[in-house]
Amino acid sequence: MIAELVSVGTEILLGNIVNTNSVYLSEQCAGLGLSVYYQTVVGDNEERMKAVISTALERSDVVILTGGLGPTEDDLTKEVTAQLMGLPLVEDSHSKELLEKYMKQYEKNNPQRRITSNNYKQALVPEGSLVLDNHNGTAPGLIIEKNGKTAILLPGPPNEMKPMFEESVYPFLRKKLPETIFSQVVKICGIGESQVAEDIQDLIKAQSNPTIAPYAKVGEVHLRITAKGEDEKECKKMIKPIVRELKNRFGRNIFATDAEKSLEEAVVDMLKDQKLTLALAESCTGGEIAARIVNVPGASEVFGHGYVTYSNRAKRKCLGVKKVTLKTDGPVSAKCAREMAKGGCIFSDADICLSITGLAGPGGGTKETPVGTVFMGCCYNGKVITREFHFTGNRGKIREQATAHALALLRECIMEGINKK
Q: Give the nearer residue to a second copy in terms of CB position, either 235 or 356.
A: 356
Torsional class of 105: left (φ above 0), alpha (ψ -120 to 50), beta (otherwise): alpha
Quick check: 264 and 289 in contact, CB under 8 A?
Answer: no
- Shortest separation between residue 125's beta carbon and a second copy, angstroms: 27
Q: How far is the CB of 420 from a second copy (least distance, A)?
A: 27
Among 106, 120, 172, 310, binds a second copy (CB under 8 A): 310
State the minimum distance, in angstroms, from the CB of residue 93 to a second copy: 31
**The one among 87, 115, 270, 294 contacting a second copy by CB under 8 A:** 294
Footprint on residues 342-371 left by a second copy (CB under 8 A): 347-349, 361-363
Nearer to a second copy, 21 or 95 (CB): 21
Specify the amino acid at residue 39. Q
Q: Is the preceding omega at residue 362 within 30 degrees of 0, hence cis?
A: yes
d(CA 217, CA 256): 14
Question: Closer CB to a second copy, residue 93 or residue 112?
Answer: 112
408 is a site residue for a second copy (CB under 8 A): no
Q: Using an 8 Å Cβ cutoff, are 415 and 255 in contact?
A: no
Please pick, from the candidates 288, 336, 386, 398, the single residue that binds a second copy as defined by CB under 8 A. 288
Q: Which is nearer to a second copy, 16 or 419 (CB)?
A: 16
Beta bridge partners of 377: 355, 386
What DSSP character marks residue 362? Answer: S
Q: How many CB atoms lie within 10 A of CB 128?
A: 12
Q: Which is nearer to a second copy, 192 or 362 (CB)?
A: 362
Q: Judged by CB, which is closer to a second copy: 125, or 350?
A: 350
Smallest distance from the beta carbon of 97 to a second copy, in angstroms?
Answer: 26
The reply to whether 42 sits near a second copy by the rule CB under 8 A is yes
- Which positions from 372 to 401 touch a second copy by CB under 8 A, shown as an x/- string? -----------------------xx--x--
The CA-CA-CA angle for residues 365, 370, 375, to 5°, reads 110
The binder of a second copy chosen from 295, 328, 381, 392 (CB under 8 A): 295
Stretch near a second copy under the rule CB under 8 A, chosen from 47-55, 195-203, 245-253, 265-273: 47-55
Residue 256: phi and psi, rounded to 5, are: -160, 150
Cis peptide before 210 (omega within 30 of 0): yes
Residue 318 contacts a second copy per CB under 8 A:
yes
Cα–Cα distance, 353 to 345 (Å, whole number): 5
Task: State in angstroms the smallest separation of the CB of 182 from a second copy.
Answer: 16
- What residues have CB less than 8 Å from 76, skipping those under 6 apart? 8, 44, 46, 49, 68
Under the binding rule (CB under 8 A), the answer on residue 136 touching a second copy is: no
d(C-alpha 99, C-alpha 101), whole Å: 5
Minimal distance, residue 327 CB to a second copy, in Å: 17
Per-residue mark of binding to a second copy, 230-269 (x: CB under 8 A):
----------------------------------------
178 binds a second copy, rule: CB under 8 A: no
Nearer to a second copy by C-beta: 123 or 332? 332
Binding test (CB under 8 A) with a second copy, winner from 72, 118, 311, 381? 311
**Does residue 335 contact residue 298 with C-beta atoms inside 8 Å?**
no
> Is residue 280 a contact point for a second copy (CB under 8 A)?
yes
* 199, 204, 210, 213 alpha-carbon torsion, rounded to 10°: 80
- Judged by CB under 8 A, does residue 313 bind a second copy? yes
Residue 3 vs 123, nearer CB to a second copy: 3
Check: CB of residue 146 under 8 Å from CB of residue 87. yes
Q: Name every residue whose Cβ is closer than 8 Å to that of residue 372 and which is 6 or more positions away in sequence.
A: 358, 359, 360, 361, 365, 390, 391, 392, 393, 398
**Size of the chain in residues:** 421
CB count, 10 Å around CB of 117?
Answer: 8
For the bound state, the minimum distance from the C-beta of residue 51 to a second copy, rounded and expressed in Å, comes to: 8
Considering only residues 201 to 230 of the shown chain, the ones binding a second copy according to CB under 8 A are 215
Convert 351-383 to b/e letters by CB count within 10 Å (16 or more is b).
Answer: bbbbbbbbbbbeeeeeeebebbbbbbbbbbeee
**Which residues in 14-33 contact a second copy (CB under 8 A)?**
14-16, 18-20, 22-30
Binding residues for a second copy (CB under 8 A): 12-16, 18-20, 22-30, 36-43, 45, 48, 52, 55, 215, 280, 282, 284-291, 293-295, 297-300, 303-311, 313-314, 317-318, 347-349, 361-363, 395-396, 399
